[in-house]
Chain A
Amino acid sequence: MLDKDKIAGFIGNKILRLLSLLIVVCFVSFMLIQYSPIDPVRAYIGEMPVSAEHKANLEEYWGVNTPPQEKFLNWAGDALKGNFGISLIYRMPVTDVIKERFTASLVLMAASWLFSGILGFILGIIAGMKKGTWIDKTIKIYCYVLAATPTFWLALILLMVFSVYLGWFPIGLSVPIGVTAENVTFLDWFLRLILPALTLSLLGVAQIALFTREKLIEVLSSDYVLFAKARGEKGLDLVLRHGIRNVALPAITLQFLGFSELFGGTVLVEQVFSYPGIGQAAVAAGLRSDVPLLLGIVIVSACFVFFGNAIADLIYQFVDPRIKQQEASI
């Protein structure tokens, strides 16, 4: 009963927060774009030659001469109705572009999120268990090196080694040349996913592994592990019984908090591998002044990161029995 009320309260609270966040984010992005030297008409017509009359029509259509407040309200009003406008560079509704692109990115992010999480956790547990040995040192050095590696640099290296030099994977472009999008096989698509996902995973491993290692060392030096040893528990059993149990929750929480870095990494990696995801669309929209799309992407990415944080919060408040108890007694 109590839990139900609490969860309802939690969700209500989160929704309110999300709404206020979105309002602020939209407004700030809108203003930034408004005062940057972006010309939507130029963006739309590109290099096409157009008559002055046509141009005036377009200016009218894009509202170049309407005051910014009004423009924002117009846009916000439409957005509330689910209409985010037409993307200038893709010439289709922003919602469609985002749906397609975000799905592609989501697959990429989910794959690397899971892979880096699991691998990082395992490496962290091994390093923590073998603290001070060469295994631990190797894992630590690997993590430090990775933590200091720029994403795009690692992406380029992988691209050069595996695609250019070894030729195992295609270079860029999600769809093979000469094949229409509908005819892309699962394998084609999968092959294109591997390198970007690998790049993101390798980078994501560092943080979670180092964190898990620290946490496990802390747990292993705790009083309750000492007592478990005194009761005859030892070795791997002990780590599985007490270590994993106490490290998993904070590690999973951290992984959810990493959504913002994951998204940032995706933008760069998609660029290098020409992976047709939301990150690539964001860069294109920015470079080519596609305001409606840019705003749409800002909203989606804000929601995405917010979602990660909300889950981390949820775990913290509802899964950890200690916190659960504390709250109940207040």
Chain B
Amino acid sequence: MGYMENMGNMGNMENMENMGNMENKTKTTAKEKKKTEALLKVENISLSFIQYASGLRQTELKVISNLSIEAHSGEILAVVGSSGSGKSLLAHAILGILPSNAKLDGKMEYNGQQLTPEKKEEIRGKEIALVPQSTNYLDPLMRISNQVIGCVEEKNEGLMKKVQRDIFQKYDLKPDVDRMFPHELSGGMTRRVLVSTAVMSSAKLIIADEPTPGLDEKTLNETLSYFKDMANRGCAVILITHDIEAALKISDKIAVFYAGTVLEVANVEDFKNNGENLRHPYTRALWNALPQNKFQAIKGHQPMQDEVIDGCIFYERCSKKNELCSKGIPQLKSVNGGVVRCNNVS
């Protein structure tokens, strides 16, 4: 029963002053982990939707291309990027819950094994858990405890009920929450309930898809600490978010998504100071757009999915572009402990 021992150091998660300590602690563990294999490897996947345009003509809408990331046990990988860059779809692709008209190519490995559709179906909810964004992801007509417990055999129900109660206790969810319906939960409670579903599963890979929007400062920090705890207990966490600042507080690595691909995977330290260690022009632009930095947004928007782009996908908006950039997609390079897809980095 993994979850029991897992619960051990979840005690004071409100205690965000400890955050600094925790960061140091995990940095060392992260370093150790570097040598080990990644728990999840996503290599060069691309994803398109088959659509029927006027009449019976089929078109393919490419929404993810040449995307690679890795998630390591005990680490938090933040995935940031603007709306529509394919973050949720990546999560759904890993879990194998894409809509039926989606076409997925490329390679995925979990724990050294090929992640086939069958394998995904087998391990989702057990080895890999999703923490969704909002109360919409809870059945509006089912009581909270039933949802969190999920679909279990009858003989295990009593036991699971107890486990669920214990987890709720740890997250400070009172017994009357068990019998509530989703619409009766406050924002913070919803978050804790959603996180509980992942803890309940004792999964080793946690994918959180924007778990923090619309939260006040305190609840935000609290929620982030839950994920930190999961990583400290040895889970690999993929934290999908819009909020770079939140991501920086707890993650070990940050993957920057843009128009369906990864432009850079940076370490948290790279974001220190003025961000001069950041590799990609887009990451820098994001960094500069933050309020506490220069608060400068870059012009333009990410290309639409139906635009065909030969060269660098960021070409239009890049201030450092040169001739080479519009001819062929830049190669993914390892630079300085991170990876980047740009011609102008060495």
> Contacts of A242 on B, CB cut-off 8 Å?
139, 142
Known: A223-B136, A325-B184. A231 touches B124 (CB 8 A): yes
Known: A231-B197, A322-B183, A325-B184. Contact between A223 and B132, CB under 8 A?
Answer: yes
Distance in angstroms from A247 CB to nearest chain B CB is 10
- Interface pair B124/A232, CB less than 8 Å apart: yes
0 or 1 for each of A229-244: is its CB under 8 Å from B? (1 = yes): 1111110011001100
Query: Given the complex, which residues of B lie within 8 Å of A232, measured CB to CB?
Result: 124-126, 150-151
Given contacts A227-B130, A321-B181, contact A233 B140 (CB under 8 A): no
Please provide the chain A residues from 298 to 330 with a CB less than 8 Å away from any CB of chain B in the complex. Answer: 320-322, 325
Contacts known (A231-B150, A232-B150, A241-B151); A322 close to B140, Cβ less than 8 A: yes
Residue B245 at the A interface, CB < 8 A?
Answer: no
- Whole-angstrom distance from the CB of A131 to the nearest CB of chain B? 10
A226 touches B137 (CB 8 A): yes
Is B201 in contact with chain A by the CB < 8 A criterion? yes
**Which residue from A233, A245, A246 sits with its C-beta under 8 Å from B150?**
A233
Q: Which residues of B contact A224 (CB under 8 A)?
A: 136-140
Q: Is B129 engaged at the interface, CB distance under 8 Å to the other chain? A: yes
> What residues on A are CB-neighbors of B181 within 8 Å?
321-322, 325
Question: How many angstroms from the CA of A222 to the CA of B184 in the assembled complex?
Answer: 19
Residues 81-125 of chain B, each 1 if its beta carbon lies under 8 Å from chain A, else 0: 000000000001001010000000000000000000000010011
Cross-chain contact A230 with B97 (CB below 8 angstroms): yes
B141 at the interface (CB under 8 A from A): yes
Q: In the complex, A249→B142 CA distance in Å?
A: 13
Scoring B residues 160 to 188 as 1 if CB is less than 8 Å from chain A, else 0, what string do you get? 00000000000000000000010110000
Q: Considering only CB atoms, which chain B residue lies closest to A229 in the complex?
A: B97
List the B side residues contacting A245 at CB < 8 Å: 139, 141-142
A230 to B274, CA, bound (A): 39
B140 and A246 form a contact (CB under 8 A): yes
- Chain A interface helix/strand/loop/mixed: helix
Out of B130, B134, B136, B151, which one reaches A230, CB within 8 Å? B130
In whole angstroms, what is the CA distance A241 to B152 when docked? 11
Interface residues of A in 231-288 (CB under 8 A from B): 231-234, 237-238, 241-242, 245-246, 249
In the complex, how many residues of chain A place their beta carbon closer than 8 angstroms to a beta carbon of chain B?
23
| A184 interfacial contact with B, CB 8 Å | no
Report the minimum CB–CB distance from B163 to chain A (whole Å).
15
Interface residue range, chain B: 20 to 34
| Docked CA distance A229–B124 (Å) | 8
Least Cβ–Cβ distance between A243 and chain B, in angstroms? 10
* Contact between chains at A233 and B125 (CB < 8 Å): yes
**B134 surroundings in chain A (CB, below 8 A):** 223
Chain B hits for A321, CB < 8 A: 141, 181, 183
The answer to whether B138 touches A227 (Cβ under 8 A) is yes
A223 to B97 alpha-carbon distance, docked (Å): 11
Task: Decide if A160 is an interface residue (CB 8 Å cutoff).
Answer: no
CB-CB under 8 A from B121, the residues of chain A are: 234
**Interface residue A228 (Cβ < 8 Å from any Cβ of B):** yes
Residue of B nearest to A224 (CB): B139
Q: A246 to B181, alpha carbons, bound, how many Å?
A: 13
Residue among B95, B140, B181 with the highest chain A CB neighbour number at 10 A: B140
Chain B residue nearest in CB terms to A326: B183
Residues of B within 8 A of A223 (CB): 132, 134, 136-137
What B residues does A234 contact at CB under 8 A?
121
The residue of chain B having its C-beta at the shortest distance from the C-beta of A226 within the complex is B97
Given the complex, which residues of B lie within 8 Å of A231, measured CB to CB? 124-125, 129-130, 150-151, 197, 201
Chain A positions 209 through 232: 1 when the CB is less than 8 Å from some CB of chain B, otherwise 0: 000000000000011101111111
**Docked CA distance A322–B134 (Å):** 17
Q: Is the CB of B183 within 8 A of A325?
A: yes
Chain B contacts for A229, CB-based, 8 A: 95, 97, 124
Q: Which residue in chain A gives the minimum CB-CB distance to B201?
A: A231
Alpha-carbon distance A229/B130, docked complex (angstroms) = 10
User: Could you mark each residue 206-248 of chain B with 1 if its beta carbon is under 8 Å from any beta carbon of chain A, else 0?
Assistant: 0000000000000000000000000000000000000000000
Residues of chain A contacted by B183 (CB below 8 angstroms): 321-322, 325
- What chain A residues lie within 8 Å of B126 (beta carbons)? 232
Bound-state Cα–Cα, A231 to B146, Å: 13
Q: Report Cα–Cα, A222/B132, bound state, in Å.
A: 13
Q: Which residue of B lies closest to A240 (CB)?
A: B151
B residues near A325, Cβ cutoff 8 Å:
181, 183-184
Closest to A322 in B: B183
A3 → B minimal CB distance (Å): 16
Q: Is the CB of A233 within 8 A of B138?
A: no
Question: Which chain B residue shows the least CB distance to A321?
Answer: B181
User: Which residue of A224, A233, A242, A249 has the most chain B CB atoms within 10 A of its CB atom?
Assistant: A224
Residues of B within 8 A of A222 (CB): 136
B309-338 Cβ-contact flags toward A at 8 Å (1 or 0):
000000000000000000000000000000
**Residue numbers in B under 8 Å from A246 (CB-CB):** 139-141
Cα A260 to Cα B141 in complex, Å, equals 29
Q: Mark A139-173, 1 if CB is under 8 A from B, else 0.
A: 00000000000000000000000000000000000
- Whether B151 and A237, one on each chain, are in contact in the complex, defined by CB atoms closer than 8 angstroms, is yes
Q: Smallest Cβ distance from B110 to chain A, in angstroms?
A: 15
Bound-state CA distance A146–B339 (Å) is: 62
Closest B residue, CB atoms, query A319: B141
Q: How far is the CA of A216 from the CA of B180 in the complex (A)?
A: 24
Tell me the bound Cα distance from A233 to B142 in angstroms: 15
A233: chain B residues within 8 A (beta carbon): 125, 150-151
Q: Nearest chain-B residue to A249 (Cβ)?
A: B141
- Contacts A227-B137, A229-B124 known; 12 new A-B pairs at CB < 8 A: A223-B136, A223-B137, A224-B139, A224-B140, A230-B124, A231-B150, A231-B151, A232-B125, A241-B139, A241-B151, A245-B142, A325-B183
Q: List 22 A-B contacts (CB under 8 A).
A: A223-B134, A223-B136, A223-B137, A226-B92, A226-B97, A227-B137, A228-B139, A228-B150, A229-B95, A229-B124, A231-B125, A231-B129, A231-B150, A232-B124, A233-B125, A233-B151, A241-B139, A245-B142, A246-B139, A321-B183, A325-B183, A325-B184
A-B pairs, top 5 by smallest CB distance, nearest first, are: A232-B125, A231-B125, A227-B137, A230-B130, A223-B136
